[in-house]
Amino acid sequence: MSFVSLDGVNHRYPDKGGGPGFLAVEGLTMNVARGEFVAVVGPSGCGKSTLMKLATGLQFPFQGEVRVAGERVTAPVKIAGMAFQSPTLLPWRSTLQNLLLPLEIVEPHRRQIRRRKSEYVARAENLLASVGLGGFGDKFPWELSGGMQQRTSLCRALIHEPALLMLDEPFGALDAFTREELWGVIRDLHAARGFTVILVTHDLREAVFLADRVLVMSARPGRIVHERRIDLPRPRDLEVTFTSEFSDIVHELRGHIVKARQ
């Protein structure tokens, strides 16, 4: 029984005049098991962001069915955390206050936040410490480097202990070294907490290093054209990215992307 499933999904964005618009995804079918780390790669504009919105219940498919945790998605799923390429932190809140934001929204924390404030603050501080930001809670986002902001954004996505983590090119705007550092952060968080991850990315090395399975999407309208299981043993060290086995997988996937672009 898969945790997230999309079954024959078509999704269309109507254009402004009310015309038929364009198909963003067509016949999109994919299944993600509980606790699995799945990466979705594809040419730009292939509907990866649409996939994010469909799986979190921000939009509903035109045709087909989306199920999360066994239930058909008809409203925002509330068990998902999201992080994007830009950290989207609130500049008027300290790092710690930014982390507490989801708890002020999502039930049941929302009702309990006044009563259990100190407990939640401790939880946020633990989470910050686990990504190497211990003691930075009082800093404002603009006092942090890009990599630190992105870590904070990851923490915010995880503070309510979601069962599903949706990542939309979360490391895309970072320099190569910071990016690899954050791969380690997300790898460790996933290993420790066992949530399900759907990672949308352009970076094939990132996909292969992190994921249990890589799905290749076609150009618009997007659908899955290739699936590749990554059997590299875990825990994976960054050294694995320099092995020929790793490069072969990346190379093979790249071939599929090139085909998908045509």
Partner 1 sequence: MNRRFDMVRAAPWLFTLAFLAIWEGSVHILKIPPFFLPPPTLVAKTFVEFWRPIYTNSLFTLSTTMVGFALAVGFGLLLGLVIGWSRTIYAGTYPLMIGFNAIPKVAIVPILVLWFGIGFIPAALTAFLISFFPIVVNVATGLATIEPELEDVLKALGASKLDIMRKIGIPRTLPYFFGSLKIAITLAFVGSVISESIASNHGIGNLMLQAQAQFQVPLVFAGLVALAIEGIVMYWLMAVLERRMTGWAQRSGFAQT
| List of residues contacting partner 1 (CB under 8 A) | 53, 56-58, 75-78, 80, 82, 84, 86, 88, 90-92, 101-102, 104-107, 140, 142, 156-157, 160, 166
Min CB(175)–partner 1 separation in Å: 21
- Between 138 and 245, name the residue whose CB sits nearer to partner 1: 138
Whole-angstrom Cα distance, residue 22 to residue 223? 14
Contact 29, 9 (CB under 8 A): yes
Contact 138, 125 (CB under 8 A): no
Contact 198, 164 (CB under 8 A): yes
- Between 94 and 241, name the residue whose CB sits nearer to partner 1: 94
Min CB(158)–partner 1 separation in Å: 12
Q: What DSSP line would sit under 33-72, residue for residue?
A: -TT-EEEEE-STTSSHHHHHHHHHTSS--SEEEEEETTEE
Q: Which helix (H) or strand (E) holds 154?
A: helix 146-158
Integer CA distances (angstroms), 112 to 106, 109, 156, 186, in order: 10, 5, 18, 28
Residue 86, judged by CB atoms within 10 A of its CB (0-12, 13-18, 19+), counts as middle
- Between 81 and 221, name the residue whose CB sits nearer to partner 1: 81
Min CB(226)–partner 1 separation in Å: 28
Min CB(155)–partner 1 separation in Å: 13
- Between 42 and 170, name the residue whose CB sits nearer to partner 1: 170
List the 4-13 sheet strands across, edge first: 22-32, 4-13, 63-68, 71-72
Min CB(88)–partner 1 separation in Å: 4
- Between 75 and 244, name the residue whose CB sits nearer to partner 1: 75
- Between 23 and 106, name the residue whose CB sits nearer to partner 1: 106
Picking from 238, 202, 186, 190, the residue whose alpha carbon sits closest to that of residue 36 is 190
Min CB(58)–partner 1 separation in Å: 6
Distant-in-sequence, close-in-space partners of 85: CB < 8 Å, separation ≥ 6: 168, 169, 170, 172, 173
Min CB(204)–partner 1 separation in Å: 24
- Between 78 and 261, name the residue whose CB sits nearer to partner 1: 78
